[in-house]
Structure 1
């Protein structure tokens, strides 16, 4: 009897189960899902590596927002880019995630707790990588009026690489973190789950592009930020959901 009750969440969360009786426990995704995501992540890694292999794309896009006469990015201190894109959007994501996390804790909703934690996992991973990176931001580079030396993604670090701490894009990762909502809706509403995934990806790209316009990041910085966020979210959800469901047996 006890074993039957403990396995009840797994039974109720099957896709064939009627919506009204499904619960909010942490569910298991099939291995096939993770294999497909691994395949897409591998393809994306190859594509992003090709894009950032010599910095040509990064430089070309960032030059569109750079004024060679003043040797500055005119939008670096733009009020609206700084207020709306750099502060308001990021703070909104953080506040909503904190509120959702507190709600999940108060209501003992394990799925809500995990999903909101996933929103922070991606930016945390990106932040750690960024803090250990020797790649400097565009506005620090010689090509854009700074003093730091630029170098391709997989090249050895040259002398004078500058302050670093700029790869992957930390700000964009806050937007990409919203992709975690995929895991909230996946069992009951898979189409809405994928809509949340693409909405989070779009938000991350939007926030990242605002930083490109200011001279704070390159295109490749933001692309890799999204890659690391989704990888860390899939990995964390897979591990946590497996451990939680194994302990229920």
Structure 2
């Protein structure tokens, strides 16, 4: 008779929330590996030359995928706040404390990325000398090192307009009900696709390296997961 591998039994015994925590170090390796490859520079060189990025002011990317998407994200965020008291659709199945958790998680994700950007001395690709700007390239790992440009470009703020909403998936992803976890995975997938679209928009325009979007995703995920853990403690108190 075949026996279940120890690793499989170990994962099966973990709670849904514990599995998410266990996955986080693996997720951390994705942007870290990307940084180690040095592909950021190669990608941007395919999109621009010494005169800059030709798609920087392309109408669809600038007006729709940036400006309109930012306004849409604001509307969705306000809707999330309203649903704390007046839930609609599947959010009616969540208790108020879980709806508060989701709203707080989204808010903290947005604030975390904004705070990191304000402290960052990393300039955007379109500000670099290689692409017609004045800044020299300095890795975002070199905290506190000036590059001669305006800075405040790491991680990707526009991508966070979608990725911060990963916090909405946590109440579903950590549920013991299989159907609710499936819903959480669907929401997570939608958020990731949205973040990818917004991050790609800014990369094509020259506003952000691809790594900026990857790190934004990790920041939003980490903040949402930590927020979820705090609310778990609150519910148990």
Give the TM-score band, short-chain normalised: 0.7 to 0.9
Normalised to the residue count of structure 1, the TM-score between the two structures is 0.77
Q: Displacement of 1:157 after TM fit?
A: 5.1
Equivalent residue in structure 1 for 2:230, among 232, 235, 239: 239
Q: Is the 8 A contact 1:178 1:196 kept in 2?
A: no
Task: Tell me what 1:53 maps to.
Answer: 36
Classify 1:106/1:182 alpha carbon distance in 2 versus 1 (closer, same or farther; 3 Å). Answer: closer
Task: Tell me what 1:18 maps to.
Answer: none
Equivalent residue in structure 2 for 1:129, among 116, 127, 140: 116
Tell me, yes or no, if structure 1 residue 80 matches structure 2 residue 63. Answer: no
Tell me, yes or no, if structure 1 residue 224 matches structure 2 residue 204. Answer: no
Distance 2:143 2:196 in 1: 28
- Write the deviation string for residues 21-72 of structure 1: whole angstroms up to 9, x where unpaired: xxxxxxxxx9744443333221232332232137x2111111222144xx11
Q: Is the 8 A contact 1:121 1:232 kept in 2?
A: yes
Taking the TM superposition and a 5 Å limit, the aligned residue runs for 1:202-221 are 202-221=193-212
Distance 1:128 1:156 in 2: 14
Distance 1:149 1:157 in 2: 14
Task: Tell me what 2:22 maps to.
Answer: 39
Tell me, yes or no, if structure 1 residue 169 matches structure 2 residue 156. Answer: yes
Distance 2:53 2:85 in 1: 44
Task: Tell me what 1:92 maps to.
Answer: 72
Structure 1's unaligned 5+ residue stretches are: 1-29
Q: SS state of the match for residue 83, structure 2?
A: helix
- Write the deviation string for residues 57-109 of structure 1: whole angstroms up to 9, x where unpaired: 111111222144xx111111122111221122222222122123123235793
Q: Displacement of 1:173 after TM fit?
A: 0.9
Task: Tell me what 1:201 maps to.
Answer: 192
Asked which structure has the greater CA Rg, the reply is 1
- Write the deviation string for residues 188-235 of structure 1: whole angstroms up to 9, x where unpaired: 511111111121111111100000000000011110000000000010
Equivalent residue in structure 1 for 2:46, among 56, 64, 68: 64
Q: Is the 8 A contact 1:90 1:175 kept in 2?
A: no
Classify 1:158/1:104 alpha carbon distance in 2 versus 1 (closer, same or farther; 3 Å). Answer: closer
Q: Is the 8 A contact 1:182 1:194 kept in 2?
A: yes
How many residues matched?
A: 214
Structure 2's unaligned 5+ residue stretches are: 1-12, 88-94
Classify 1:36/1:139 alpha carbon distance in 2 versus 1 (closer, same or farther; 3 Å). Answer: same
Tell me, yes or no, if structure 1 residue 111 matches structure 2 residue 98. Answer: yes
Runs of 4+ in 1 over 6 A off after TM superposition: none
Q: Displacement of 1:243 after TM fit?
A: 1.1
Task: Tell me what 1:151 maps to.
Answer: 138
**Two-structure CA RMSD over aligned residues (Å):** 2.3
